[in-house]
Amino acid sequence: MTRAVLTLTPFVALGTCIVVHVILSRAFPGLARPLGILLSVGVAGVGVVGVALFGPADRLPAAVGPPELAAVWLLTYVLLAYCYVIGFFNLGESARRIRLLIDLHQAGRRGLSLEEILSTYNARMIVDVRLHRMITGGQVRQQDGVYYTRARIMLAAARLLVWLKIAYLGSRSELSAPTPSERPAPR
């Protein structure tokens, strides 16, 4: 293992995590998506700690101890893996922007009117999919067509987001927030 590769261990681990994720997703299509993510992130995480603790330490600066290196690399890797899962995989999974972009791309040069877009992707579909996911995930329960909250963790996360919105945007919702200074006038 060359020194250059060693110095980039967290990034190499991220690459490993993505490769493992792709292999697992293709080999086991029925595997629950959170489990696939957890396994991929975990396998590469174990690798990072292993390289830091038992890797070729003679190729690294002597001033850093293996436990310290393991802590720094693992923290860096976990954050990078978070970026991959939340910022890339999850965007393709649930982001409305990406879904709309793909629909527009597939429409070609002619594009789509708002009515055409809403005929294939609209608020009802978005809400239905989310409700189904949250019922399956145990955050929400349904009884006689009425929805109730169930687990409190995601609700706590939603409240935290509201506080962050107030701190950053000065508003509880993007719709009531002041317009960003860089945003051009709507066309």
Q: Which of residues 31-90 bind another protein (CB under 8 A)?
A: 60-61, 63-64, 68-69, 71-73, 75-77, 79-80, 82-83, 86-88
Nearest approach, Cβ of 181 to another protein (angstroms)? 5
The single residue among 35, 129, 136, 138 that binds another protein, judged by CB under 8 A, is: 129
Nearest approach, Cβ of 83 to another protein (angstroms)? 5
- 3-state DSSP call for residue 62? coil
Helix (H) or strand (E) holding 149: strand 146-149
Q: How many CA within 13 A on the CB side of residue 184?
A: 1
Q: Which of residues 142-181 bind another protein (CB under 8 A)?
A: 143, 145-149, 154-155, 157-159, 161-162, 164-165, 167-170, 173-175, 178-181
58 DSSP 8-state letter: G
End-to-end CA distance of the chain: 54
**Type of residue numbered 174:** E
By C-beta, is 42 or 152 nearer to another protein? 152
CA distance 187 to 177: 19
By C-beta, is 43 or 112 nearer to another protein? 112
Instruction: Compute how many residues bind another protein; rule: CB under 8 A.
Output: 97
By C-beta, is 42 or 70 nearer to another protein? 70
Task: Give the per-residue contact string, 88-107, with another protein (x = CB under 8 A; - = no).
Answer: x--xxxxxxxxxxxx-xxxx
- 3-state DSSP call for residue 170? coil
Decide: 46 and 33 in contact? Cβ < 8 Å: no
The single residue among 118, 132, 136, 138 that binds another protein, judged by CB under 8 A, is: 118
By C-beta, is 46 or 126 nearer to another protein? 126
Report angle CA 159, 164, 165 to the nearest 5 degrees.
95
CA distance 28 to 185: 47
Nearest approach, Cβ of 146 to another protein (angstroms)? 4
